[in-house]
A and B are shown apart, each in its own frame.
Chain A
Amino acid sequence: MAEPLLQLSGVHTHIGPYHILHGVDFSIPASQLTVLLGRNGAGKTTTLRTIMGLWQASSGMIRFDGRDITKTSTPDIARAGIGYVPESMAIFTDLTVRENIVLAARSGPVEPARLDWMLGLFPALKRFWNLPAGNLSGGQKQMLAIARAIAEPRRLLLIDEPTKGLAPVMVRSMIEAFKALKASGETILLVEQNFYAASALGDNVIVMDDGRIVHSGAMREMVEDKTLQQRLLGLSLDAHQ
């Protein structure tokens, strides 16, 4: 296999007095969608934030495209080509949809073709183009957050629970959007608690518990192996269905 696009080795993260990540190791191959699963508090969000440099790893190494980014500042990590959609979506509610997108395209105006592609993925955004983003519904905010992450070409997208709190119909259209993203060759690390969505999208799967990686492999294997599902994900995930 070719060198993975992103590689974490032995990453520990402390937040204040709390030790959250206890030596996380995994790698993300290019042009595939990897799903990060785990129950609440397993350390999924912390992992994404640590990759993004929003929290500093206290030890271990994070390599992106052959480069050590463990100590790199967040803006520089973003400039290296990582797009980030936090769990809170972090939409700028005071800005219009257009202004949110304009800001996200840091290196200049969004190319017309890219804009058409984005708005094709998320048609709702076109209708609310000049309205304050604070007026959008939860699902529309999520679309805007993802659109913002792809407003310019990125090498890797980190997306934190995009289906959280969405209505089933919305979840389905979100899955369609992700399928389209995958088809266009994007590399995606997706944190997901919804196993239905995860299994529909993932090429690979990583499972976390208690700040450690407890399983990683192909998604197909996991979908087929019910005992593995039961052991790793237990009842908590079934309850989500």
Chain B
Amino acid sequence: MTEMAAGTTTSSEPLPRAKTDLLPLLIVPALALLALPFVGSGSTWVTLTVAGLAMGMMIFLMASGLTLVFGLMDIINFGHGVFISLGAYATLIILGPLAGWAQADSVWLNLGLLALCILAAMGVTGIVGAVFERIIVRPVYGSHLKQILVTMGGLIVAEQAIHAIWGASPIPIPLPETLRGAFIIGDVIMERYRVVAVGIGLIVFIGMQLLLNRTRIGLLIRAGVENPEMVEALGYRIRRLFVSVFVAGSALAGLGGVMWAFYRQTLTAGMGMEVMVLVFIVIIIGGLGSVGGCFVGSILVALVANYVGFIEPKLALISNILVMALVLIWRPQGLFPVARR
């Protein structure tokens, strides 16, 4: 026995300090403050920040499911984008019969319409997610190469299926009446829809945090991300847990798709894959498997894109890549690395 472990049980030993890693959390406010002098005007800065937050929340919605699925089962789903598109197209199920609600000058009818669209989208993407998991993903556990290939295949087929069902040309969708326009407070302009998006994003984030930290299911998910094998050795059937998380992740992507669709006000089958680039950047930055990291990463990327887009538009195109490169140089495993076996 040469190794001296520090594990003595004498009562004089001080309590170990809780390791809290706040540094990455500070980046976002620090960045926002840093941008202020470059932007110049305070009101413009607020507008940019709110817009960035809204964008960040939408990316978070679309990315959160993917990062959990990866963390839990070591599955990388390149077809995740198709759930975003599918969620967006699912709004048509509601927007068709209830077109009147969108034109009504009533906040409640408009928000109700949005809620119904979200419900429909999450239902459709959840069901398709379950099928996708069964047919596409399940046979290729354990091989990243095959996962990437086969989920890309799933993406191709599903995108084509969207074309076959809803047609290949872009479909315009109306933003409900009262969500158009902007709140104007002094010089500050905040688009209403973006404020709604921030609200929904926050609700989902807080809900996920509560679920993960306060419930048994959440405990299981967190434990499973860290060591799925031990979770099984404790008698839990992790397969079932994983399917539920996959379905929930797909439904969240569907929710993100609805928000993204109303933001763009146009539907295309490729819209999910287009935004996947951002989603991947975000989950790499956040640390694969970390919901908190995904949240911080989303906001970080969106804010940087907005500030840089305002200050030096040409640079905005590659700002995401630069953020990713810088983060990876600082922390090769992402902002919040997830401990694994």
- Please state if B8 and A170 are interface contacts (CB–CB under 8 Å): yes
Q: How far is the CB of B8 from chain A (nearest CB, A)?
A: 6
Q: How far is the CB of B339 from chain A (nearest CB, A)?
A: 5
Q: How far is the CA of A76 from the CA of B234 in the complex (A)?
A: 9
Partner of B7 from the list A76, A92, A103, A166 (CB cut-off 8 Å) is: A166
Q: How far is the CB of A88 from chain B (nearest CB, A)?
A: 7
- Please state if A75 and B235 are interface contacts (CB–CB under 8 Å): yes
Q: How far is the CB of B251 from chain A (nearest CB, A)?
A: 25
- Please state if B5 and A170 are interface contacts (CB–CB under 8 Å): yes
- Please state if B15 and A128 are interface contacts (CB–CB under 8 Å): yes
- A contact residues, total (Cβ < 8 Å): 47
- Does A64 belong to the interface (CB within 8 Å)? no
- Please state if B219 and A134 are interface contacts (CB–CB under 8 Å): no
Beyond A95-B219, A135-B19, whether A90 also contacts B7 by CB under 8 A is no
- Does B34 belong to the interface (CB within 8 Å)? no
- Mask of A5-40 contacts with B, CB within 8 angstroms, 1/0: 000000000000000000000000000000000000
Say what secondary structure dominates the interface of chain B. Answer: loop
- Please state if B232 and A131 are interface contacts (CB–CB under 8 Å): no
- Please state if B232 and A139 are interface contacts (CB–CB under 8 Å): no
- Does B30 belong to the interface (CB within 8 Å)? no
Most buried by B among A92, A141, A166: A92
Q: Using CB atoms, name the residue of chain A closest to B4.
A: A167
Q: How far is the CA of A102 from the CA of B216 in the complex (A)?
A: 9
- Does A219 belong to the interface (CB within 8 Å)? no
- Does A165 belong to the interface (CB within 8 Å)? yes
Most buried by A among B1, B9, B233, B236: B233
- Mask of B1-20 contacts with A, CB within 8 angstroms, 1/0: 10111111100000111110
- Please state if B339 and A94 are interface contacts (CB–CB under 8 Å): yes
Chain B residue contacts of A92, Cβ below 8 A: 222-223, 226-227, 230
Q: Using CB atoms, name the residue of chain B closest to A138.
A: B5
- Does A218 belong to the interface (CB within 8 Å)? no
- Please state if B18 and A132 are interface contacts (CB–CB under 8 Å): yes
Q: How far is the CA of A127 from the CA of B235 in the complex (A)?
A: 27
Chain B residue contacts of A166, Cβ below 8 A: 1, 5, 7
Chain A residue contacts of B5, Cβ below 8 A: 137-139, 165-167, 170
Most buried by A among B7, B9, B15: B7
Q: Using CB atoms, name the residue of chain B closest to A145.
A: B230
- Please state if A165 and B233 are interface contacts (CB–CB under 8 Å): no
- Please state if A136 and B233 are interface contacts (CB–CB under 8 Å): no
Chain A residue contacts of B16, Cβ below 8 A: 128, 131, 135-137
- Please state if B235 and A93 are interface contacts (CB–CB under 8 Å): no
B residues near A (Cβ < 8 Å) are 1, 3-9, 15-19, 216, 219-220, 222-223, 225-227, 229-238, 338-339, 341
- Shortest 4 CB-CB contacts between residues of A and residues of B: A139-B7, A78-B235, A90-B230, A137-B7
A residues near B (Cβ < 8 Å) are 52, 54, 73-76, 78-79, 84, 86, 88, 90, 92-95, 99, 102-104, 106, 123-124, 127-128, 131-132, 134-142, 148, 165-171, 173, 194, 240
Known pairs A92-B223, A135-B19; list 6 more (Cβ under 8 Å).
A78-B233, A88-B341, A90-B227, A95-B219, A103-B231, A136-B16
- Chosen A-B contacts, 8 in total, with CB atoms closer than 8 Å, are A92-B230, A94-B226, A103-B219, A104-B234, A131-B18, A138-B6, A194-B1, A240-B1
